[in-house]
Amino acid sequence: MTRSHGTASLKRKATDIDRMLTKAYGRKVVELEDDPLDTLVETILSQNTTDRNSHRAFQALKKAYPRWGDLMGEDADKVAKVIRSGGLAGIKASRILGALEFINRERGVLNLDFLRDMSPQDAEAWLAQMKGVGPKTRSIVLLFSLGMPAFPVDTHIHRVTKRIGLIGPRVSREQAQTDLAALVPRSEFFNYHINLIEHGRTVCQARKPRCPMCQISRYCDYFVRTAKAES
């Protein structure tokens, strides 16, 4: 099979899986109501922790500092105490303060709305200048708050797409963002992203995937290998 035929086959597979997941979990549509700076800070807080813990940390931070400008010049240790429920509080406090300082220094105001006027490539490149703002964080800001094409890959998506066979077994999360974005139509990025996460949480779980109840097992390389091994 040639590379072009292989890619075409993967695209068909990705499309079929998208259709099945949408049927199972519903169509998700991004509403773009979140402020991109809020999304940036909350995504930094979400690194290496659960959604529940990161949301608690974000709410605590907003309560202690109602305006992002209130954080300017603040001591990192003090901020870390506020966001301790999110884990890795010292690292995240430094990253958040560093990001805010960078934005204020470069733009003179704590606001990321100007990114809306950039191309997706330029917007991502601008965000990439900030320490601790990696590919996943940048993609979430682009997709969730700016409505730009990006395919964030979290733990669930990375695991599920490896098992299914949409990406290779040794593909990193960063490379997976590029690979999956090439397989999925831009109009489906948000819907596919959310439904893959839901599938990973409820069915294709890390320790013991629930293959008998999986809606997309017919497309899954892992399921086919397991079925053959047990036959």
Q: Using an 8 Å Cβ cutoff, are 6 and 179 in contact?
A: no
Q: Using an 8 Å Cβ cutoff, are 53 and 46 in contact?
A: no
Section 97-113 average pLDDT: 97
What is the reported pLDDT for 48? 86
Section 121-147 average pLDDT: 95
What is the reported pLDDT for 2? 40
Number of domains in the chain: 2
pLDDT in tens, 151-175: 999 999 999 999 999 999 999 999 9
- Whether 199 and 101 map to the same domain: the answer is no
- Whether 94 and 141 map to the same domain: the answer is yes
Section 93-108 average pLDDT: 97
- Report the percent of the chain where pLDDT is more than 70: 96
Of 107, 130, 145, which residue sits at a domain end? 145
Of 117, 145, 173, which residue sits at a domain end? 145
- Whether 165 and 180 map to the same domain: the answer is yes
Residue 23 lies in domain: 3-29+152-230
Amino acid at 192: Y
Residue 14 tokens, joined: 């990705």
**1 confidence band (pLDDT: 50, 70, 90):** very low
* Distance of alpha carbon 35 from alpha carbon 146, whole angstroms: 9
Q: For the chain, what's the residue count?
A: 231
- Whether 55 and 140 map to the same domain: the answer is yes
- Whether 53 and 127 map to the same domain: the answer is yes
- Whether 61 and 101 map to the same domain: the answer is yes
Q: For 119, which DSSP code?
A: -
The yes-or-no answer on residue 136 being catalytic is yes
Using the structure block, give the residue that is written with the tokens 């601790």.
132
- Whether 160 and 213 map to the same domain: the answer is yes
pTM: 0.89
Using the structure block, give the residue that is written with the tokens 């506020």.
82
What is the reported pLDDT for 51? 86
What is the reported pLDDT for 228? 61
- Whether 45 and 19 map to the same domain: the answer is no
pLDDT in tens, 14-68: 999 999 999 999 999 988 778 999 999 999 999 888 889 999 999 999 999 999 9
Of 125, 145, 165, which residue sits at a domain end? 145
Q: Is the pLDDT of residue 116 over 60?
A: yes
- Whether 196 and 156 map to the same domain: the answer is yes
Which CATH number fits the domain that encloses residue 40? 1.10.340.30
Q: Is the pLDDT of residue 5 over 50?
A: no
pLDDT in tens, 179-190: 999 999 999 999
- Whether 113 and 162 map to the same domain: the answer is no
Q: Where are the beta strands (DSSP E) in 46-142?
A: none
- Closest by Cα among 129, 48, 119, 37 to 83: 48
Q: Using an 8 Å Cβ cutoff, are 48 and 54 in contact?
A: no
Helices (H) and strands (E) in the chain, counts: 11, 0
Which CATH number fits the domain that encloses residue 173? 1.10.1670.10
- Whether 40 and 141 map to the same domain: the answer is yes
**83 confidence band (pLDDT: 50, 70, 90):** very high
- Closest by Cα among 56, 36, 199, 220 to 126: 36
Q: Is the pLDDT of residue 227 over 80?
A: no
142-180 burial string, b = 16+ CB within 10 Å, else e?
bbbbbebbbbbbbebbbbbbbbbbbbeeebebeebbebb
pLDDT in tens, 202-219: 999 999 999 999 999 999
Q: Which of 136, 162, 208, 228 is catalytic?
A: 136
* Distance of alpha carbon 55 from alpha carbon 25, whole angstroms: 23
**229 confidence band (pLDDT: 50, 70, 90):** low
Residue 56 tokens, joined: 């608690």
Q: Using an 8 Å Cβ cutoff, are 120 and 149 in contact?
A: yes
Q: Is the pLDDT of residue 108 over 60?
A: yes
- Whether 141 and 159 map to the same domain: the answer is no
The rounded radius of gyration (Å) of the Cα atoms in the chain is 19
